[in-house]
Each structure stands twice: as structure tokens, then as C-alpha cells.
A and B are shown apart, each in its own frame.
Chain A
Amino acid sequence: MPRTINLHPFTILAVAVAVVTMTTAASHWWLSCAVLGLCLFISGWAGQLKKLSILSGVMLLPTFLSLLLIHGLVSRDESPAIAQWGPARVTVHGLEVALSLGLRTAVLVVVGLLCGLLIDKHQLVAAIDLSPVPPQLGYLLAATLFLLPQMAEKQRRIGEAQTLRRMGTGKGITGWFQRVRLRAVPLVLASMQDAQDRAVHLSARGFPATATRTRLRTVPDSQVQRAIRWIAIVVAVLGPVLILVLVLVQLGSK
């Protein structure tokens, strides 16, 4: 059974943003690796290690391969080649660049996915609703998070109905494209109809609220968490600037 972190969703997001910006700005392989290790540890504690590993792998493998192809194999830098096959040559510098960029991307992806797995969607929507942002923003996020699975279900039912009429039953990539083409229009039409049907009743239930709105759901928060959020935001904004200044000072002294 996966565990959830009983923190305000904004606290998790603020810390995540600070970690990503600082790691990207610092650009040290060991720091990126440490962050990735910490993410895997947290996901293991939360019972989400397998899910995080699979999702990260699916997203990062093509990224690493493309970086390796661009910077590692067809690099035009002048550093000595480790290996060479005709025009393709592997250089130390090229590998370093590919690895550095790949690790920074990995931090962004893994931290982002971990946030997605740790934050309860309903808590996030409630937190947005209770914040001073326009109520439509909360609904938009909620609709994206919760209505997409409903659309997937609708798409499945349309597929069944088309199969009954012996359409969209082809195999392979051609069959897949045919199915996408056949299902797209009815899915969009049905979803629009659905949205129209829901909209009148949402209005009747007072949405969007014109004055202050409240939520039955409570979102855990505290002074400490609020302080952490402020610190994380300051670090996310000023941290990279500070690192840039330090680098410039170092370059100047040389």
C-alpha cells in the first residue's frame, strides 16, 4: 500500500522547484546523482519505487540516447577521440557534456514524477481552491486530472462500439492509426457534449464562486511549512543567481 506524505502540496512543490533549479545551476554530476538517489529513497519509502523507476526509464532512456548521439558520437569538438567509426567519433568531452545534460534532465524528470506520485491530486486541487487564485484554475487542473481518465473510459467504449461494427479492428501500426482516426472525432464530440451538459449544472451549483469560497476538505499546513515554502522560493530564485555570481567572480580572478 503506497504511503502519502502529510504535507501541504505547495510545500512539496516549492521544495521540488528549489532542488531542480539549484541542481541545474550547480551542474555537478555528484549533486545530480545525490538528488536522484534521494528521490529513489523517498519513492522506496512511499512504496512507489517500481512506478517511479518505470516512468523515469520510459522518459529518460530516449533522452539519454539522443544526447549521446548528439554530443557523444557526432561531436565536432577537438578533444582526443576514445573511439572512431568513420565520421562518428566518441570523445571524452562529448561524453562529459552528454552525461552532464542527461543528469540535469534526469533530476527534472525524476523530481517532477516523484511530486506527481507523492501529492494527492484532491489535496492539490483543494490547496489551489483555498489559495487566492481564480476558481477556474482549480477546476481546470481538476478537470485535467480527473476527467482524463473518464475520457479514456469513453474512448474504450467507443472502440467497443466500432469493433461491433467491424471497424478499427486492423492490426499493427496501420491499424493503430486507423483506430485513432476513427475514435478521435466521436471522442471529441462526446466530450464537448459532456462538458456542455455539465456546465449548466455547475452554474446552478454556484460555480464559479463570485465571493469567498471554502472547502470541506482540510489541507494540512503549519507555520513551519509556510516558512519552508518561503525559504524554498527564495533559494529557487536567488540560488542560481548566487551560483552565477560566484562563477563570474572565479572567472574574473583567473
Chain B
Amino acid sequence: MYQDLPALTSAVLGLSLRSFTYLDGQDPVLHDVELEVFPGSLTVISGQSGSGKSTLGAILAGLLPRHGMDELVGTISVAETQIEFSKSSTPRVDVSQWARHTGLLPQDAGHYLSGIRGTVAEELAFSLENEGVPREQMHQRVQELAQKLHLEHLLERNPQELSGGQERLVALAALAMSEPDVLVLDEPLAGLDQQASAVVSTMINALRAQGTAIVVLVDSVRAWAHEAASLWSLEQGTLKALSSDEQEQQDKVTKETSRSVPEDSRVLLSLNSVNLAYPGASRPAVQDLDLEVRAGQCIGLAGANGSGKTTLLKAIAGLLTPVDGRLETFGDSGLLLQNSSDQLFERTVLREVSFGIPKRSPVQQRVPEVLAQLGLDSYAQTHPYELPASARRLVALATVLVRDPEILLLDEPTEALDEVGEAILQEVIRSELERGGAVVLSTHDGDFMEATAHRVFEMS
């Protein structure tokens, strides 16, 4: 268990930001932000999607402001050096030098990995290779770090074949290889099952124990509040210290009153001894599965990464045919995929939600209605890629809802959603159930599962 280090007074990273404006922005995205980070400390910054968390993370990691483009007014103190930014001068930052003091792990950890190395050991050594560190020394440092962070078993694995949790561990270790004073982690536990979350948390604690300061950017402080040295909320572009009342408010989980489902309600989905396998796979992903879902029911699929939750949802949606057993649906189904960006193809939100719907179809009339239901009407003419992650996830949900499915299938629906988005999602599920539909969802978010599912089906 992590224990607080003796108080060390000198900050390893300091930010005094008066304003930050993007090149094409009218108003500052961030203003009046004061932050100091101390060795071995855990600083948690929460904020809604689009609040500027990622921008703040990129500023701390030296990736913003882009030289000659964005405008930052303020000072950043890093490694006993104070860098002044003003309207008239934006010093050019050597990103690789900065990364030796402050590193950033993006939410999609895969983006941090080079993607061109054959083993995890090589991936860990990537930054050392670019520094020209002699091979023997690199080998030693990789072994030492792997031992310290309990990653020895992964060293010879192909980075392309890692699970989501393992990928995040490797990215975190690769980040730690340069021994930076500060690590900025953007949603480090998002999309991980309980076991993977515990391993990542253990690694974070191990890094803190070495004296590395950790700054975590999250939607909700819930999982971090008990360990954090300081808790902040990013609201309207500025940082505010979270009071204990506000922390409690964020800790609170909206628990809906359990709705009873009539036992004689219509069966919408039935699976009998179903086996599912991907083409060419040596063994089935799902074996001998029995499940019945009735109108008005919300079923939660639980289980570790790789237990077949996504496979089952794809099979119900008709993307995969069972190799054995009987799968019957008695109504249209619609599936929200895990990765929103794979589900978006058009240049505006309006066109995106209308994609694939014939022009004269009555379904077209539902488009504005669905956009309003999800609070997206003001984004109708915006490019989906320009939206904050939470709104983008809701656009993907809108593309499913517009077809009015009777069986709503949601794969990790809370991933990338902020609290407002999560409330909208809960409302969508409630209205789907009230109108006699059914919902099957898979999630690692235990609180959300508890709040929404009538029954949890454990996949093994």
C-alpha cells in the first residue's frame, strides 16, 4: 500500500496561467489557472468532457502552445527553470527535453506507443534508443524498470497483441523510462476491468513511491479521492479546489429505484446453448450461452476483458453468426460500438445521424428529435471530430437511436462520457425500457451497472 512520502517542499512543476487561446479560437479555453505539483504527490483534476482537461494536460507536458500558433500568457516552472509566455513571445519548446521532466500518457495509451517495435522491451527502450544510450545500458535499464513495475512477463510480447490493460501498463512504463519528475495521466483507468484497474493503480503507486509526481485528469474524482493530495475541478476554463461537500457529491452514485419487470412481458431476445467464434479462431469466444431478455428489461454483461461481451453483442446485432445453438431476436436491434471514432463517417453531426437513411424515409424525421433528446441540437452543423469526446460518444449513440431499435445494445457506453453525458445515457435507457424495449449493455463501470441493470449476467 502506498504511504505518503515525507513532505518535500519544492514543487517540481508549477503553472501560473493567465490565459490560453487556441490559434483559431476567439475566447481563452483556460484562464487564471494556478497549479503546483510536488514530488510523489497525486494531484487529481476532474472536469466535464470539453472542459479543457486535455488542453491543460498538453500544456503541462509542453505539447501546447504550438510555436507561432496558440497564445499562452503566464509562466511554467519546470526543472528549476521558469519559462515566461506572453502575447508577444512564445518560446520554442523542445518537446523531447520537456518530456524528460514531465510526460503525458494520453487516454488512448496505444497512441503513446510507437507501433513499430517487435517486443515490449524494445518499446520501453524506444526513447533511450533515440537518445543514443549504449545497448548494454539500455538492456539493464529496461530489466530494472520491468522488475520494479512487475512487467518482466510482458517483455518479450508483441506490443500489438496486448490487451487494453496491458497496453496501458506498457505505455506507462515507457513513459517512466525517462524517469520524469511528473507524469500526467489522462483517464488512466478508463475502459479497464477491475483486475486491470488494480494493476494500473498499483503501478501508479509504485511510481509515486519512487518520488514521481502524478497528475491525473479524470471525469470524476470518485476512484481517486481517498489517495489524492489535492483535488481540483476544472470548470469554465479555470481550476477550483474541490471542497469536501463537492467531493461527496461526485462520490454519490445515482441509484435509480429498481423497476419491476412483468414476468409475462414479451420475449425480445433468446439464446439457447449458443457458441460464438470468429472466423479462423481455434476456439469459441463464447460457449454454451443461455440468455433470455424480455421487454422492459436491462441486462448487464459483466466479466474481464476478453470474456466475450463484445462478441455476444455483435452476434445479437447480426454481425456474427453463432457456430452452434439458437439465437433469436424478436425486434430490431441497434448496437453502440465501443470505439466511437469507427462509427462516424460524415462531415457534420446532422449528416452523420442521417447516414444510411433513405431521404424519403419517415426515419429522417426522427433525426432532429434524437439530436434534441441527446442535447446535440446545437452541434448539428459541427464536424464530429471537432466535438469533445463525450459529445462524440453521444453522436454515435444518436446514430443508433434514430433507427428506433427495440433491442438497444451498448458496448462500454460510459467510456468517454462525462457526468452530463452519463445522465443523458441513463435517461435514454429509462425511456427505451418504458416504451417496451430491452437493453443489453456491457460495462466495467460497476456503479453504472448497479444503477441501470435489472440483472447482471457474468461472462466467463
Q: Which A residues are closer than 8 A to B by beta carbons?
A: 121-122, 125, 129, 139, 142-143, 146-147, 149-150, 154, 157-158, 160-167, 182, 185-186, 189-190, 193-194, 197-198, 200-209, 211-218
**Which of A185, A198, A205 has the largest number of chain B CB atoms within 10 A?**
A205
Cβ contact within 8 Å between A150 and B115? yes
Contact of A216 among B62, B129, B335 (CB under 8 A): B129
Contact of A203 among B95, B174, B341 (CB under 8 A): B95
* A5–B399 alpha-carbon span in the complex (Å): 51
Contact of B130 among A165, A190, A197, A207 (CB under 8 A): A207
Q: Please judge, given known A-B contacts A186-B344, A205-B127, whether A217 and B132 are in contact too, CB under 8 Å.
A: no
1/0 per residue, CB under 8 A from A, across B308-343: the answer is 000000100101000000000000001101010111
* A214–B127 alpha-carbon span in the complex (Å): 10
Cβ contact within 8 Å between A197 and B134? no
A-B contact pairs, 18 of them (CB 8 A): A122-B117, A147-B115, A157-B339, A162-B345, A164-B317, A164-B334, A166-B356, A197-B106, A198-B111, A204-B63, A205-B127, A206-B99, A207-B114, A213-B130, A215-B129, A215-B135, A216-B139, A217-B122
Q: Please judge, given known A-B contacts A158-B345, A216-B135, whether A201 and B112 are in contact too, CB under 8 Å.
A: yes
B132 surroundings in chain A (CB, below 8 A): 209, 211-214
Residue of A nearest to B97 (CB): A206
Residue B80 interfacial (CB < 8 Å): no
Residue B218 interfacial (CB < 8 Å): no
* A189–B384 alpha-carbon span in the complex (Å): 12
Residue B126 interfacial (CB < 8 Å): yes
Nearest CB on A from B285, distance (A): 15
Residue of A nearest to B117 (CB): A122
* A227–B118 alpha-carbon span in the complex (Å): 29
Q: Please judge, given known A-B contacts A200-B63, A216-B121, whether A209 and B129 are in contact too, CB under 8 Å.
A: yes
Cβ contact within 8 Å between A164 and B319? yes
Nearest CB on B from A148, distance (A): 11
A167 surroundings in chain B (CB, below 8 A): 355-356
Q: Please judge, given known A-B contacts A198-B115, A201-B111, whether A216 and B138 are in contact too, CB under 8 Å.
A: yes
**Which of A186, A206, A212 has the largest number of chain B CB atoms within 10 A?**
A206
Residue B133 interfacial (CB < 8 Å): yes
Nearest CB on B from A226, distance (A): 19
Cβ contact within 8 Å between B142 and A204? no
A164 surroundings in chain B (CB, below 8 A): 317, 319, 334-335, 337, 400
* A201–B178 alpha-carbon span in the complex (Å): 13
* A139–B104 alpha-carbon span in the complex (Å): 22
Cβ contact within 8 Å between A139 and B116? yes
Given contacts A129-B129, A165-B403, 17 further A-B contacts (CB under 8 A): A122-B118, A146-B160, A157-B339, A160-B342, A161-B337, A161-B342, A164-B317, A165-B356, A165-B399, A166-B356, A198-B115, A201-B112, A204-B61, A204-B99, A215-B129, A216-B125, A217-B118
Cβ contact within 8 Å between A204 and B138? no
Q: How many residues of B contact A (CB 8 A)?
A: 55
Cβ contact within 8 Å between A162 and B108? no
Residue B245 interfacial (CB < 8 Å): no
A186 surroundings in chain B (CB, below 8 A): 344-345
Cβ contact within 8 Å between A161 and B126? no
Cβ contact within 8 Å between B135 and A189? no
Cβ contact within 8 Å between A204 and B114? no
Nearest CB on B from A253, distance (A): 56
B385 surroundings in chain A (CB, below 8 A): 189, 193
Contact of B96 among A160, A162, A189, A206 (CB under 8 A): A206
B62 surroundings in chain A (CB, below 8 A): 204
B:401-432 near A, CB below 8 Å? 403
B:141-166 near A, CB below 8 Å? 142, 160
Contact of B342 among A121, A129, A158, A165 (CB under 8 A): A158
Nearest CB on A from B130, distance (A): 3
Residue B211 interfacial (CB < 8 Å): no
B317 surroundings in chain A (CB, below 8 A): 164
Nearest CB on A from B205, distance (A): 24
**Which of B106, B337, B345, B356 has the largest number of chain A CB atoms within 10 A?**
B345
Residue B264 interfacial (CB < 8 Å): no
Residue B103 interfacial (CB < 8 Å): yes
Residue B131 interfacial (CB < 8 Å): yes
**In the complex, the 8 A-B pairs of residues with the closest C-beta atoms, listed nearest first:** A206-B130, A122-B118, A142-B116, A165-B356, A204-B99, A206-B96, A209-B130, A216-B125
B:285-327 near A, CB below 8 Å? 314, 317, 319
Cβ contact within 8 Å between B61 and A214? no
Contact of A190 among B61, B319, B342 (CB under 8 A): B342
B118 surroundings in chain A (CB, below 8 A): 121-122, 217
Nearest CB on B from A153, distance (A): 10
A216 surroundings in chain B (CB, below 8 A): 121-122, 125, 128-129, 135, 138-139, 142
Residue of A nearest to B135 (CB): A214
Residue of A nearest to B358 (CB): A166
Cβ contact within 8 Å between A190 and B131? no
Nearest CB on B from A14, distance (A): 23
B335 surroundings in chain A (CB, below 8 A): 164
Residue of A nearest to B357 (CB): A165
Q: Please judge, given known A-B contacts A146-B115, A198-B115, whether A182 and B135 are in contact too, CB under 8 Å.
A: no
Cβ contact within 8 Å between A163 and B96? no
Cβ contact within 8 Å between A214 and B111? no
Cβ contact within 8 Å between A213 and B106? no
A139 surroundings in chain B (CB, below 8 A): 116
Residue of B nearest to A141 (CB): B116
Cβ contact within 8 Å between A205 and B126? yes
